[in-house]
């Protein structure tokens, strides 16, 4: 029996060197040749083929776990061994910094201290998407719109940063935003595994990126809301998908990837994952100068069940919260890299759990942060909570009002008509929240089944009379996996079924019940211009400040 020794790379060295898994892959490649019938399928400590084997011999015990000693065995075929030896030598010289001594006999050992098992590329699909060119142009020119777009377009992927936080330190993890990747086929980083997040609007880009990686021989794993509902579609483009929340299966994914044994599917939408086990996201991987906000998640799911909802209710079927201590640890990690951060809570419905938030907010005041959250209108019911929110740095709450008229709210939810029941308090509730110095961003979904062509004037009038500081309008969007998608499909009302590019919340992909597609298209744009014009944007801001000033003056004099 002959054997060939070689060493392993270390990340202490500045020059990029091959990871252990990468080395194993190279060995597999050099060994799998038609020249030799025997020397193929050589894997790191993993015997697939009795002809050739890469192994850690007994010397491991003698040297202790700080050293790795490898040997490539080949028996029963001298030619195969020579061939393998030559090729392994080339690979080692090209890719290893400390390949040890080459000889035909004896083991070779190198320090293993910081050896990297896998290089993992986490690739986030950042930025915003709109297919309609005219809307995009408007979005880039209207002051009110531009501001919000700029803010949100720069948020990082919390999902991927969370997985990075859960990755053991023996892997080397890089977080990359899609726009930072070079054009063309090149994928920097010599990755052993690429993990891509997915939203429907950018799924074609994500699949194209997966193709690029796989052409380079890099296995691709995908996760996120889109592939959670369409894993079979995704598996046509990538090697493996994670369905639902990523954390519970991440350790298994890593183990399998290391052993070249990725399964096609991991996870489920019904996992019992406890957010008490959640890691602190690896915010330190970010180039913080590129971001004007960072996200923190305190909860998943939502107590309501809106027909069109494609948020985290897609990932988990129950509302659950992260313990206060975990959330505070995440904020402290952010504070370590950013002195006065702006934090956007990436929850579907943050403040609905009032006792929890009262506890959390007690700790915020000393931290000097400003924050934003998405919630429902019930937050207005608790003035103590509103006081705490203001005092702890809350700048704005975004509230899904959905419709300025009752007609649109009928059957919006699957379980009950909670929002319809709240409708009569909408204006008062907005006034109460804003009177605490917290601005409200009211969101309306245009094209709901109860909406007629009057809806455009009704939205504008509501925003003006309720004195909303900020407003967001979106077009009703059938996201895959939602009850809305299934219903519109059954009713034959989808314009381009499975054209996921249109899942932007701004592009129309359904036939509205109460108006034509053209009416929705043209009047929506007009409403965008009206709502986000410089004049109306300034009026909204001025009115908020003026009301607050008057209220404070009144309070001081009484």
By the rule CB under 6 A, 279 interacts with ligand B12: no
CB of 228 to ligand B12, least distance (A): 7
Of positions 32, 174, 292, 305, contacts ligand SF4 by CB under 6 A: 305
Residue 148 CB neighbours (<10 A):
17
Q: Identify what 202 binds: ligand SF4, ligand B12, none; CB under 5 to 8 Å per kind.
A: ligand B12
Q: Which of 5, 51, 393, 400 binds ligand SF4 (CB under 6 A)?
A: 400
**DSSP secondary structure letter of residue 454:** T
DSSP string, 377-437: GGGGG-HHHHHHHHHTTEEEEEEEEE-SSGGGGTT-BSS--HHHHHGGGHHHHHHHHHHTT
Question: How far is Cα 136 from Cα 157, in angstroms, rounded to an integer?
Answer: 22
Query: Scanning the structure block, which residue is given the tokens 């701004």?
Result: 506
Q: 54 phi and psi, to 5 degrees?
A: -105, 130
- What value, to the nearest 5°, has the Cα angle with vertex 77 and ends 75 and 80? 105
CB of 128 to ligand B12, least distance (A): 3
CB nearer to ligand SF4: give 132 or 348: 348
Residues 100-159 interacting with ligand B12 (rule: CB under 6 A): 124-130, 152-153, 155, 157-159
Nearer Cβ to ligand SF4, position 51 or 404? 404
Minimum CB distance to ligand SF4, residue 392 (Å): 23
Is residue 348 a contact residue for ligand SF4 (CB under 6 A)? yes
Q: Decide if residue 302 touches ligand SF4 (CB under 6 A).
A: yes
Question: Quick check: 527 binds ligand SF4 (CB under 6 A)?
Answer: no
3-class secondary structure, 242: strand
Whole-angstrom distance, CA of residue 501 vs CA of residue 479: 10
Q: Residue 510 has what DSSP assignment?
A: B
Residue 355: other Cβ atoms inside 10 A: 9
Interacting residue with ligand SF4 among 311, 452, 474, 519 (CB under 6 A): 311
Residue 326 touches ligand B12, criterion: CB under 6 A: no
Contacts of 204 (CB under 8 A, 6+ apart): 500, 501
Q: Per CB under 6 A, does 373 bind ligand B12?
A: no
Name the DSSP letter for residue 181: S
Smallest separation (angstroms) from ligand B12 to the CB of 158: 4
Q: Which of 92, 115, 275, 306 binds ligand SF4 (CB under 6 A)?
A: 306
Residue showing the smallest CB distance to ligand B12 in the complex: 223
Query: Closest separation between CB of residue 315 and ligand SF4, Å?
Result: 12
Using the minimum distance from each CB to ligand B12, give the nearer residue, 65 or 236. 236
Stretch that binds ligand SF4, among 302-310, 469-477, 485-493, 538-546 (CB under 6 A): 302-310
Q: How many residues does the chain have?
A: 558
- Give dist(CA 47, CA 54) in Å, integer: 7
The number of angstroms, rounded, from the C-alpha of 446 to the middle of its chain's C-alpha atoms is 26
DSSP 76: S
Size of site (CB under 6 A) for ligand B12: 48
Q: What share of the chain is helix, strand, coil (3-state, %, to 5)?
A: 45, 15, 40
With contacts defined by CB under 6 A, name the span among 36-44, 64-72, 195-203, 444-452 that binds ligand B12.
Answer: 195-203
Burial of 46 (0-12, 13-18, 19+ CB in 10 A): middle
Residues 351 to 390: which contact ligand SF4 by CB under 6 A?
376
The footprint of ligand SF4 (CB under 6 A) covers 302, 304-306, 309, 311, 313, 348-349, 376, 400
The footprint of ligand B12 (CB under 6 A) covers 124-130, 152-153, 155, 157-160, 162-163, 195-197, 199-202, 221-226, 242, 245-247, 295, 297, 310-312, 315, 346-348, 374, 479, 503-506
């Amino acid at each position: 029996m002959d054997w060939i020794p070689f060493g392993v790379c270390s990340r202490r060295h500045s020059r990029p060197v091959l990871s252990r898994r990468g080395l194993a892959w190279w060995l597999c490649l050099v060994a799998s040749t038609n020249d030799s019938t025997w020397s193929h399928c050589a894997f790191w400590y993993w015997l697939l083929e009795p002809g050739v084997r890469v192994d850690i011999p007994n010397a491991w015990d003698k040297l202790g776990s700080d050293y790795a000693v490898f040997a490539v065995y080949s028996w029963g075929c001298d030619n195969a061994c020579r061939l393998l030896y030559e090729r392994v030598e080339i690979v080692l010289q090209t890719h290893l910094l400390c390949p040890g001594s080459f000889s035909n006999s004896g083991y070779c050992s190198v320090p293993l201290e910081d050896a990297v098992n896998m290089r993992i590329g986490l690739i986030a699909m950042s930025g915003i998407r709109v297919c309609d060119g005219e809307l995009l142009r408007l979005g880039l020119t209207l002051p009110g719109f531009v501001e919000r777009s700029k803010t949100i377009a720069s948020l990082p992927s919390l999902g991927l940063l969370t997985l990075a936080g859960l990755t053991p330190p023996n892997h080397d993890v890089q977080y990359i935003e899609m726009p930072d990747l070079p054009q063309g086929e090149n994928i920097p980083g010599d990755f052993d595994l690429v993990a891509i997040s997915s939203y429907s609007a950018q799924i074609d880009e994500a699949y194209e990126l997966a193709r690029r990686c796989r052409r380079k021989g890099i296995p691709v794993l995908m996760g996120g809301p889109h592939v959670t509902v369409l894993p079979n579609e995704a598996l046509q483009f990538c090697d493996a998908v994670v369905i639902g929340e990523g954390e519970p299966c991440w350790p298994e994914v890593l183990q399998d990837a290391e052993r070249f044994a990725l399964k096609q599917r991991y996870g489920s939408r019904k996992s019992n994952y406890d957010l008490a086990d959640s890691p602190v996201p690896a915010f330190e991987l970010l180039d913080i100068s590129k971001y004007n906000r960072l996200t923190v998640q305190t909860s998943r799911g939502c107590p309501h069940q809106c027909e069109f909802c494609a948020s985290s209710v897609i990932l988990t079927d129950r509302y659950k919260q992260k313990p206060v201590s975990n959330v505070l640890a995440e904020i402290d990690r952010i504070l370590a890299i950013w002195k006065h951060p702006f934090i956007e809570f990436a929850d579907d419905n943050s403040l609905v759990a009032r006792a929890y938030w009262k506890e959390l907010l007690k700790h915020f005041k000393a931290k000097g942060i400003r924050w934003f959250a998405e919630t429902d209108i019930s937050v207005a019911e608790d003035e103590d909570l509103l006081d705490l929110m203001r005092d702890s740095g809350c700048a704005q709450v975004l509230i899904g009002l959905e419709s300025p008229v009752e007609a649109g709210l009928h059957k919006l939810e699957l379980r009950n008509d909670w929002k319809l029941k709240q409708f009569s308090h909408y204006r008062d509730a907005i006034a109460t929240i804003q009177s605490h110095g917290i601005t409200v961003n009211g969101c309306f979904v245009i094209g709901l089944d109860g909406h007629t062509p009057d809806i455009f004037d009704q939205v504008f009038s509501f925003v003006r009379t309720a004195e909303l500081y900020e407003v967001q309008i979106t077009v009703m969007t059938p996201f895959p996996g939602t009850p809305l998608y299934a219903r519109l499909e059954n009713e034959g009302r989808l314009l381009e079924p499975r054209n996921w590019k249109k899942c932007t919340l701004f592009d129309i992909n359904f036939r509205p019940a109460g108006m034509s597609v053209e009416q929705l298209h043209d009047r929506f744009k007009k409403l965008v211009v009206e709502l986000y014009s410089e004049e109306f944007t300034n009026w909204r801001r001025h009115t908020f400040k003026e009301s607050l000033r008057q209220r404070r003056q009144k309070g001081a004099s009484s």
